[in-house]
Structure 1
Amino acid sequence: MFYYLIRKLLFLIDPEKAHVLTLKFFNLKNFQIIRKMFIKPIPSKKIKCMGLIFKNRIGLAAGLDKNGDYIDSLSTIGFGFIEVGTVTPIPQYGNPKPRIFRIPEAEAIINRMGFNNLGIDYLINNIKKSKFKGIIGVNIGKNKNTKIEDAVKDYLICIEKVYPYASYITINISSPNTIHLRKLQYGALFNDLLDKIKKKQNKMYHKYSKYVPIAIKISPDLSKDELIYICYQLIQYKIDAVIATNTTLDHSSVYGMKNSLEKGGLSGLPLQKKSTDIISILYKNLKKKIPIIGVGGVNSIRSAKEKIQSGAHLIQIYSGLIYHGPKLITKIIKNL
């Protein structure tokens, strides 16, 4: 109940300002001391995925902590892993504000952030300073001004820089808020991307004697045939995992609600079934060769279980945390 009271106040503020304010509050030393006094430790339920040992199945999705400023404080909520980013080779402002919009009656969020971040070097500094010993994934993207034909160069720059510090790396080619980015999921551009990032991964592996898995994050707006094709390519290039899914451009489920006509990717409860259905298609066609990380509309124990039953090995949460607070994480972990 305490969180829902706080949420009422936060929802009176601009969403992006509320986001920053909440994260800064989490970072306060006094908050962490009080939290340790009153919150019981969450039981460890270890699981192996991508060759890594995760404390539990529930992770933080990329987007909430873009620059890795809050890794240590977010780790105290109970996440089995934290994915930071999306980051790009050089800093960029992203799209003009306002760029986040709540739809409370649908437990949904529309965002058109546009990969706003302080750059890969800033993120690496924060990872190096972090005391968190768990799994940290780093989600990488291309800069807005990089032509789509040259996009792979941005991903290779980020892989090379972050490789020694990341537990795994996510290739974000599915955000709807960077022009033409989703073209990287198709045809020759997709094949070229997979080929070059695998070659870079192999080169980094020999350089550091450390294997860092690579995951591809896909869109929920792909057709069944497109998903089957992606599965075939992921298997062929021996990609380590697939994350399903990013936000959707399909706003039909929130039609008529306040903010539903805002441009951007829709996340939260309206994405729940769509992402789970995609996990089922992936699971059938990947033939247990590549693990799936499920994300999209996880807001309860039931929705988390549905994703696992559909074939997800791990689960990520973002919008559910905003609408239901940290206790959601504890409840899901204890009941899985």
Structure 2
Amino acid sequence: MDLKSDDEKLNELFNTKETTDFGKTIKKAKVFSILRTVILSLMIVIILSFTLLVTNASMLNKIANQKERNLRNWYTIGLPNAFMGNVQFDDKIMTGEIDYVRYRFLGNKPVVDGNYKKDYKYVPLINGVYGDISNHLYASNYKTQQDLDETINYNKDGKRVMRFYHPSVKYDKYPNDLVAIDKVGSNKLVELAISFDKAYTLDKVKEMFPNEVTLNWYWVDTYNEKDLTKDVPIEKGKSVEINSVFEENNVYGIKALDGQGNKIDNPEGDFINTITIVSKDKNSSSIYKELFNKLSEGKGEIKKENLKIIGVVVSGDTDSLKKLKNQNYIKAATLGATADKY
């Protein structure tokens, strides 16, 4: 039997309702707090992600532009008759890649020389491209001077790699691919690396070639005596010293044509300016400083008369190049790229 008075029963009824309403209020407050935290967290993540993406893009853009400048500087002083074409940048997270077309001129005809890539990054621990970075289509082994003389290398696009022979070195054998011009065919354009019998001035070289032959590039003597021989391993613990034959990827010189195939009136200017300016950049390759010291002869300035030309790259149709046969100044001649005339 319930002995509670009516007042006590009413108090219990109202107290229960107040407690229930208060609990619902607490639950609503918790849900709102959670939602607010989630929304704030999402906003922070979005803002941070956007900031990181913008920062990443900005940093990669700066590094990519510097990488492109470095490449163009390199093409100015080296890589005979090779030019950078269209460039595309592919940015990712903390790393990116430059993809560009390389081409060369055979006469006045541009010929594609393959696609090339260079990676860039702002975190050194981020890995770059894996695998062989050789400039050749496949590796060649040399064990003797004869191996070096007789081996023909090809670049990644399947074109013959030109070779150069220094006039101060007495080689046992000098290639003369001018004799093979007749076999190439009259409907072909040909690139030819010519090594001289001695050093000439730039102006003298310009006079040595007929107008029908396109002068693409001048090989500048940048070598010390130690560069003219190299040790080649023949077996474990043993090596043999042979005379250096210089391939197109490890020579330096002056481009006679601009990127559109037009003749440059004073081609030595870009070569000298690039070496002079870049050699002062502490972040650049040490090769520029070495070249500056060698060519300036310790006088703090590279002058035109310091440039000793020891070879060239020429191109044209086979009929034009035949006129170079039996020229006394040609010590060696090696074929490079070939292409159809039309």
> Do both proteins adopt the same fold according to a TM-score greater than 0.5, normalized to the shorter chain?
no
- The structure with higher relative contact order (CA 8 Å, sep 6+) is 2
More helix by share: 1
More strand by share: 2
Q: Pick the structure with greater CA Rg.
A: 2
TM tier relative to shorter chain: under 0.3
